Amino acid sequence: MKVALVAGEASGDLLAGLLLGGLRQRWPSLHTFGIGGPRMADQGFEAWWPHDKLSVLGYVEALRHYREIKGIRDALFERLAADKPDAFIGVDAPDFNLGLEQQLRQAGVKAIHFVCPSIWAWRAGRTEKIARSTDHVLCLFPFEPELLQRHGIAATFVGHPLADAIDLTVPRSAARAALGLPDAQPVVAVLPGSRRAEIDAIAPTFAATVALLARSRPDLRFVLPVAHGLRALVEPIVARFAPEAPITLLDGRSHEALAACDVTLIASGTATLEAALFKRPMVIAYKINFMSWQIMKRMRLQPWVGLPNILCGEFVVPERLQGEATPQQLATDVLAWLDAPQRGEALQQRFTELHQQLRRNTARTATDAIAQITGQA
């Protein structure tokens, strides 16, 4: 069996890597190829282009890279149309994948989209394009299939693979020991994102927040997981804005950092869901290009941006967006969690319930759906 996949950026690579583990169990001789990253490569995936080619932030940056991205999509379609796979799975990245899925579907390839586009949060009009482009959508969240089915789109709730991968009980002491952190000292994990544009936008603010926190609470320790290949970008920012702070840069290891910390300062995205699955209090912050923000703001359908708040249906953790994301405000929000442990305990219970809801053995459930769609059961 041959399956083509496209996963953009680190979060898509992570999700696709977990999915590929289930597919390989069902079909040991499976051949997979397309656009992906190191997590997918660990499962035998053949990357024709690296996943970071699709890692752009907001409309303005996407426009700057439009010619290159369109060239990749055109070349990928020609290659897949000439030697058709049994299925194509677009992992998130709807701006890239939906158009490609539509082309491939018209060419006779089964098109599956993994991760429902956030039509419940913004861009509700996208349902028509999803209906044209896909044979089936594999949904991470339980409310999505019904919403899609109202528009005639076949969909299955498969749960979230991170909910399967992350233990219900957080190994805090073990994570601290692995990172060389003392068991009793308060720790803040700082996660500024995994894309260059994301780090350019938010990392200076996060580093300045760390400097403020370190001055006001000398007992605090900080850990900052750095995504693959981005240390040269992060180190100068930390050196400039938080030169005296007791902060340790980690090569990856974000899950250990989240397990070890008492609270996390984190950029909006999949990482916020990971933090929720680790039952951690968090402060979400996000900054993007001004024009991109103006466009997105007009398309929003919900008051929340962070996944934990969206899934809980209320502001269970603070979100600071654009101009609200100042070092002073973020430091105040972090200290509010540290100084009120009872709030953190209540949040932990809420996140435990969310974790259990999203645990559906995603790799097997998604594989069952893919087998049915492709007739390869």
Residue 294: per-residue pLDDT = 60
Mean pLDDT, rounded, for 121-145: 85
Which single residue is written with the structure tokens 């920012």? 237
Which single residue is written with the structure tokens 């902060």? 247
The continuous run of DSSP H or E covering 214 comes out as helix 196-216
CB-neighbour burial class of residue 31 (10 A; exposed 0-12, middle 13-18, buried 19+): middle
Specify the range with the lowest mean pLDDT, choosing from 24-38, 96-110, 131-145, 298-312: 298-312
Task: Name the token pair of 48.
Answer: 């024709």
Task: Name the token pair of 81.
Answer: 């149309």
325 or 377: which leads in pLDDT = 325
| 80-108 per-residue burial string, b: 16 or more CB within 10 A, e: under 16 | beeeebbbbbbbbbbebbbbbbbbbbeee
Contact 98, 129 (CB under 8 A): yes
2-159+360-374 and 172-358 agree in CATH topology: yes
DSSP-H helix ranges across 107-195: 127-133, 144-149, 161-165, 172-179
Confidence of residue 9 (pLDDT cuts 50, 70, 90): confident
Residue 153 has phi, psi (to 5 degrees) of -105, 120
**What residues form DSSP beta bridges with 47?**
34
Residue 11: per-residue pLDDT = 82
Chain segment 156-185, per-residue pLDDT in tens: 999 998 999 999 999 999 999 999 999 999
Which single residue is written with the structure tokens 């992350």? 166
DSSP count for the chain of H helices, then E strands:
18, 13
CATH topology for 172-358 is: Rossmann fold (3.40.50)
Chain segment 221-269, per-residue pLDDT in tens: 999 999 988 999 999 999 999 999 999 999 999 999 999 999 999 998 8
Contact 32, 42 (CB under 8 A): no
Residue 59: per-residue pLDDT = 47
What average pLDDT does the chain have? Answer: 91
- Domain boundaries 2-159+360-374, corresponding CATH code: 3.40.50.2000
Residue 270: per-residue pLDDT = 86
Q: Give percent of the chain above pLDDT 90.
A: 74
Residue 276: per-residue pLDDT = 98
Closest to 179 measured CA to CA, from 275, 265, 248: 248
The continuous run of DSSP H or E covering 112 comes out as strand 110-114
Contact 242, 211 (CB under 8 A): yes
124 or 305: which leads in pLDDT = 305
Mean pLDDT, rounded, for 184-213: 94
How many CB atoms are located within 10 Å of the residue 218 CB? 8
Helix (H, G, I), strand (E, B) or coil at 52: helix
Taking 50 as the threshold, does the pLDDT of residue 369 lie above it? yes
**What residues form DSSP beta bridges with 31?**
2
Q: Hey, which bits of 119-236 come out as E strands?
A: 136-139, 155-157, 187-191, 221-226
Q: Give percent of the chain above pLDDT 70.
A: 91
How far is it, in rounded angstroms, from Cα 201 to Cα 207? 12
Helix (H, G, I), strand (E, B) or coil at 358: helix
**What residues form DSSP beta bridges with 319?**
284
How far is it, in rounded angstroms, from Cα 221 to Cα 263? 11
Residue 67: per-residue pLDDT = 82
Mean pLDDT, rounded, for 132-147: 93
Confidence of residue 121 (pLDDT cuts 50, 70, 90): low
How far is it, in rounded angstroms, from Cα 15 to Cα 52? 15
Chain segment 15-61, per-residue pLDDT in tens: 899 999 999 999 999 999 999 999 999 999 999 999 877 765 454 45
The continuous run of DSSP H or E covering 282 comes out as strand 282-286
Residue 49 has phi, psi (to 5 degrees) of -135, 145
Domain positions in the chain are: 2-159+360-374, 172-358
Residue 6: per-residue pLDDT = 96
Contact 273, 316 (CB under 8 A): no
Mean pLDDT, rounded, for 123-141: 88
Closest to 265 measured CA to CA, from 218, 323, 215, 223: 223
Confidence of residue 124 (pLDDT cuts 50, 70, 90): low
Contact 112, 133 (CB under 8 A): no
Confidence of residue 295 (pLDDT cuts 50, 70, 90): low
Residue 180: per-residue pLDDT = 96
Helix (H, G, I), strand (E, B) or coil at 368: helix
